[in-house]
């Protein structure tokens, strides 16, 4: 799962690459996301994964304050963005 240059290799299926913090922790390991931990994980997923060339990057994030989304716009060059923010009824179904 690691390349020689210490970059993670994303999983790939049907030509779609994916990476998740869920791949890196045990199935039964609880993860409590707080401020700097979220930002560090985001930086790792954006900059330490060998994505290759991408036409589209899909990010699935839990609800929050928007700090994570703001950090994304500061960390990578975006040509466009589509954000879906579902309400609690959407996220718990």
Indicate whether 2 belongs to any domain: no
The pLDDT of residue 61: 73
Residue pointed to by tokens 């959407």 = 90
The pLDDT of residue 66: 77
Q: How many residues does the chain have?
A: 93
* Residue 18 lies in domain: 11-91
Indicate whether 5 belongs to any domain: no
More confident residue, 90 or 63: 63
Query: Which residues does 25 contact at the CB level (< 8 Å), separation at least 6?
Result: 31
> 50 is written with which tokens?
């060998």
pLDDT in tens, 27-85: 787 777 777 887 888 888 888 899 888 888 887 776 666 777 788 888 888 888 777 76
- SS3 category, 13: strand
- Sheet strands (E) in 1-93: 11-13, 16-18
Indicate whether 25 belongs to any domain: yes
Indicate whether 37 belongs to any domain: yes
- pTM equals 0.68
Domain count, the chain: 1
Going by C-alpha positions, the residue among 37, 43, 10, 35 that lies closest to residue 24 is 10
Indicate whether 54 belongs to any domain: yes
């Amino acid at each position: 799962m690691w390349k020689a240059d210490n970059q993670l290799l994303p999983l790939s299926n049907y030509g779609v690459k994916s990476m998740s913090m869920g791949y890196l922790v045990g199935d039964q390991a609880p993860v409590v996301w707080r401020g700097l931990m979220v930002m560090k994980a985001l930086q790792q997923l954006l900059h330490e994964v060998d994505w290759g060339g991408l036409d589209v990057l899909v990010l699935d994030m839990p609800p929050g304050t928007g700090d994570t989304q703001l950090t994304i716009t500061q960390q990578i060059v975006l040509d466009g963005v589509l954000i879906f923010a579902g309400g609690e009824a959407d996220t718990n179904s």
